[in-house]
Amino acid sequence: MARTLMKGEKFSIKPQESASDFIRKSYLGLALVGLTLLTPFAVNNLMHGRYFLGVGAFAIIAVLAFNAWMVVRYNRYYTLLTFLGLVPAILFFLSLSMLRQGMIGVLWAYPAVLSFYFMLPERRAWIANLALIVIVFPLAWNIIEQALAMRLIATLSMVSIFSAIFIRAITEQQNKLKTQAVTDPLTGLLNRSLLHGKLDWAVAQSKRTGIPMTLISFDIDHFKSINDTFGHDVGDKVLRSVSHVFKLRFRRSDKVFRLGGEEFLLLLYDTNIEDGKQVSEEIRQSIAALKLLPDQAVTVSTGVATLRPEEDWKQWIKRSDANLYRAKTSGRNRTVA
């Protein structure tokens, strides 16, 4: 069965998780500040017999230090450890500080709110801040004057909302920039920047699981002549229209690259040579049926290659390109596998 787009599926280019780089970098700064400022408080609490406060502070310091070391040493950051370990430690320390120190303890709520947004993915940061609000607001209402408690609730809510807006703006901007970095602006397809990584992944996946992987190299026939005869605006329209055919034909697991100019490469997941040839022919015929130029059809030549067990991605793509070259030299507007 040809590996075409199933009903209900959409073609999409999903950017990598954009918050991770920001979180790792911001966490290092927060960890440095936390280790520098919290350690004296932890030691002071222990020296004055406030053991629960001291232990809570050192628990926070320990998680900060461990995650910071993992980021520096291995470029890895455990958000789940922060969420399940550091957040409860901070909430415990905060509630205990409020009960023991009153308004002085309440002041720790402000850096806690900010730290959650800078240390956690957005949704987990919301959950952590909701937990903080559930704990802080009733305590504040009972341990300090109500007029002051109302102001605390209002200002803490504003800090939390402003932080959420700020982090959302940063996340959206990073998503946009990362999408632009891996996407061809004219066609909306992937560009060459992810090509080697995706092919390496496909080779490793196939060798590990035995799943067949197929490449299809596409080249628009006589594209230079189209640009020279009709102009680059028409040429751009042809590129966008051909790319739209690709988008309609493939699943989320497949990858479609514009390599440059009129050249495209399609990576088909779980597709053998026969299915790859069928898909290639369907696309070739669909493009030929488009009415893009007056009294002239736009055609493509294609080369199909299914990964062999002994190949790396360079050998694999070389065979696909060789088949494309054979299609072009044998008359164009055809598929060679």
Catalytic residue IDs:
262
Q: What angle do CA 85, 88, 93 make, to 5 degrees?
A: 120
> What is the SS3 assignment for 132-187?
HHHHHHHHHHHHCCHHHHHHHHHHHHHHHHHHHHHHHHHHHHHHHHHHHHHECCCC
DSSP states along 253-297 = TSEEEEEETTEEEEEEET--HHHHHHHHHHHHHHHHT---BTTB-
3-state secondary structure of 217: strand
Q: H helices then E strands: how many in the chain?
A: 13, 5
The number of residues in the chain equals 337
Distance CA 68, CA 74 (A): 10
Which positions ≥6 away from 32 have C-beta within 8 Å?
Answer: 68
For strand 255-260 and strand 213-220, is the pairing parallel, antiparallel, or unpaired?
Answer: unpaired
Give residue for tokens 């390599």.
259
CA-CA distances (angstroms) from residue 300 to 44, 77, 251, 259? 75, 46, 21, 15
| 42's tokens | 């932890």
3-state secondary structure of 304: strand
Distance CA 301, CA 290 (A): 15
